[in-house]
Chains A and B, each alone.
Chain A
Amino acid sequence: MKNNLLLEIKDLHAWVGDKEILKGINLQIKKGEVHVIFGPNGSGKTTLLNVLMGFSGYKVSGKILLHGKDIINLPVDERARLGIGMSFQRPPAIKGVKLRNLITTSAMGKDDLMEDYAAKLNLTGFLDRDVNLGFSGGEIKRAELLQLILQDPEIIFLDEPESGVDLENIALIGEYTNILIGRHQEPEKGKTMKELYRQRRKSGLIITHTGHILNYLDVDIGHVLMEGVFACQANPGEMLHTITECGFEECFRCFRKEKEHGE
């Protein structure tokens, strides 16, 4: 099943200055799989996505294999062109650059669907506004979704997709996140749903503090990130339940216990 692997992370470390943030991350994401990473603030979730995307400001070591090819030294834009897309938690506002202009410059030929998806995401009036300038939390997330749907990446990183989003927006964001990661499956004649699910080709890596997005999205595997390492891998639904009931305190407790045993 090796050829089914889309993204493989091997012993990934990252430092900001002298401070080690990621301390040996290992992760495998197969084609069609969606993973979620839970973790308390400061555990290294955003750093992990930033390092996978190739942003500056980190010293890194280890391997990031996309289709078996190590991309750890590639610049951000080459990673994007190889099929990685990312939805930012707090993207910068870019004065004077209209959202329409950004999409037509970057959407890799899919901008003919722009008006259509903008209307579906209630963003029609936003196409002629400066990118993210004065957007509310929900508007930012919807604009990110619009850009990513048109970019059509193979693997999608979502950084806190529900943060700053009000109740009115969360269902819409959930719906289009499903479309983005290819989980929105309509029945088709002549094929069973099982067969259709097996055809899924898109993968996702979602990081979340609260886990609310899981009410709208089915994910396959859950992880807990603690102090720069994965502390746990389990059923994401159970994980969310535990974290909601007991908080990350329970994760810390478990993490320390296993660490003691390990040593």
Chain B
Amino acid sequence: MANNKDIQTGDLDLSLYHEVAEEHPEVADLSRLSSEDQKVLLMSGIDTSGKERSGSFFQKDHSVIHCQTNFDGAEIMSASEARKKYDWLKDYWGKAVPIDKDYYTRRADEHQQHGYFIRSMPGAVVHYPLQACLYLSEDKLSQDVHNIVIAEEGSKLNIITGCATAPNVRSGLHVGVSEFYVKKGATLSFTMIHNWAEDMAVRPRSAVIIEEGGTYISDYICLVPARDLQMYPTAIIKGKGAVATFHTVLLARPGSLMDVGSRVILQAEDCKAEIISRAVSTGGKIIARGDLVGEKPGIKAHLECKGLLLSDQGVIHAIPELQGKAANLDMSHEAAVGKIAQEEIEYLMARGLSENEATSLIVKGFLSLDIIGLPDDLKKELNRMIDETDTNAM
């Protein structure tokens, strides 16, 4: 990755952040959190009633204050506890994301405070999603977590994770290692919503390993300003006929830097991958990366990267890459960066919308991916989130 030249110190000024957090007491029910906190959670995809969720995990700073599973076929708990409970977890820990991959993976290993462990049992169909929230409530705190998700053979699992900061927090550091294992014939839908304070630095380090016939669907949404966000999750398809999909929706305001990509390495025959990203800049800088590596015959993979630039101060740098390493594969990409067509704005203005209203409607339309494979309720929730996104900055 471009910004990770220095594995010893990383690329951020770490003296800005402190390591020790106050311990927080457990809560029996997320609906007992303060209304300010609940409002933030709602905008991060977390349902505090927990009604239509199969389980919930809530980590505030360095404390896991709520953890509950409502469905026999799945479990959710602190990753540190899971490591104590299950000896076999050592076969997964650090296997998808090597501990010494870069500065931040090493840091997460040394400073780790929990993170979540989520697993669906073999053959289990987990109808309602499990939700996990990593919450930062102290200004200038660093939060280092390690997450592990395992969808066992033939299971179906939906996860919504919200990473957010409390209203009083302006600055902080979030480092998260996430490892995903999609076993034979399993399906994992992973939706991640970032809802950060404007001065946050965020370094997720994620990898996915998909076995034969498995399906992994990732939806990543970040519509709020984050000063410095850098991530490049990688899915490695190891088994025949498996599928990986990454959807990314980004909105960068002035002062934000978002360096976000997705990579799929297709190592088995007849696999499919799709990477789709939508980036809007109202003045921030977005580097939208995408990388597809096809190593076996019969592979189909497509990368689509579209950017809307609404200000001369903004930058959108699309870097789509394809590597084909076998004959008889089919890989393609399309990338486009531009402004909104004047014709579209004037069409809406002819219906009585002001220029700002027209722009906002078009931008929201551009961001609202018709996400395939997600439960309808979640789709509605995501579109509501896009609808409620502050349009003043657009």
Give the chain B neighbours of A85 by CB distance below 8 A.
350
Which chain A residue lies CB-closest to B278? A96
Q: Is B25 an interface residue (CB 8 A)?
A: no
B346, A102: Cβ atoms closer than 8 Å: no
Contacts of B366 in A (CB 8 A): 95-96
B343 nearest in chain A by CB position: A92
Number of interface residues of B (CB under 8 A): 25
Q: Quick one: which of B343, B352, B362 has the most chain A CB within 10 A?
A: B352
Instruction: Point out the residue from A86, A94, A105 that lies within 8 Å of B350, measured CB to CB.
Output: A86
Query: How many interface residues does A have (CB within 8 Å)?
Result: 25
Asked if A77 lies at the interface with its beta carbon under 8 angstroms from chain B, I say: yes
A92 in contact with B347 (CB, 8 Å): yes
For window 319-365 of B, CB contacts with A under 8 Å fall at: 341-344, 346-355, 357-358, 361-362, 364-365
Q: Specify which chain A residues have a CB less than 8 angstroms from the CB of B344 in the assembled complex.
A: 92, 94
B368 interfacial by beta-carbon distance below 8 Å? yes
With A76-B349, A81-B352 known to touch, is A97 a contact of B361 (CB < 8 Å)?
A: yes
A53 within 8 A of B: yes
Give Cα distance in the complex from A116 to B358, angstroms. Answer: 25
**Interface residue? A88 (CB, 8 A):** yes
B167-221 interface with A by 8 A CB criterion: none
Is the CB–CB distance between A96 and B351 below 8 Å? no
The answer to whether B347 touches A77 (Cβ under 8 A) is no
Contact A76 B361 (CB under 8 A): no
> Which residues of chain B are near A53, meaning CB under 8 Å?
350
Task: Evaluate contact between B347 and A80: CB separation under 8 angstroms.
Answer: no
A85-B349 Cα distance, complex, nearest whole Å? 10
Tell me, yes or no, whether B367 is within 8 Å of chain A by CB. Answer: yes
B352 touching A96, Cβ below 8 Å: no
Task: Tell me the smallest distance from the CB of A78 to a CB of chain B, in Å.
Answer: 9
A91, CB-defined interface residue at 8 Å? yes
Report how far A86 CA is from B348 CA in the complex, Å: 11
Q: Mind listing 18 A-B residue pairs with CB under 8 Å?
A: A53-B350, A55-B346, A75-B349, A76-B346, A77-B353, A81-B352, A86-B350, A94-B344, A94-B348, A94-B361, A94-B365, A96-B369, A102-B348, A102-B361, A105-B357, A105-B361, A106-B352, A151-B352
- Residues in A lying within 8 Å of B, measured CB to CB: 53, 55-56, 75-77, 80-81, 85-86, 88, 91-92, 94-97, 101-102, 105-106, 108, 130, 147, 151
Nearest 9 interchain pairs by C-beta: A96-B365, A97-B365, A106-B351, A76-B349, A80-B352, A77-B349, A96-B368, A92-B344, A92-B343
New A-B pairs, 19, CB < 8 Å, besides A95-B365, A95-B366, A96-B366: A55-B346, A56-B342, A77-B350, A77-B353, A77-B355, A80-B350, A85-B350, A92-B343, A92-B344, A94-B344, A94-B347, A94-B365, A96-B367, A96-B370, A97-B361, A97-B362, A101-B365, A102-B348, A105-B353
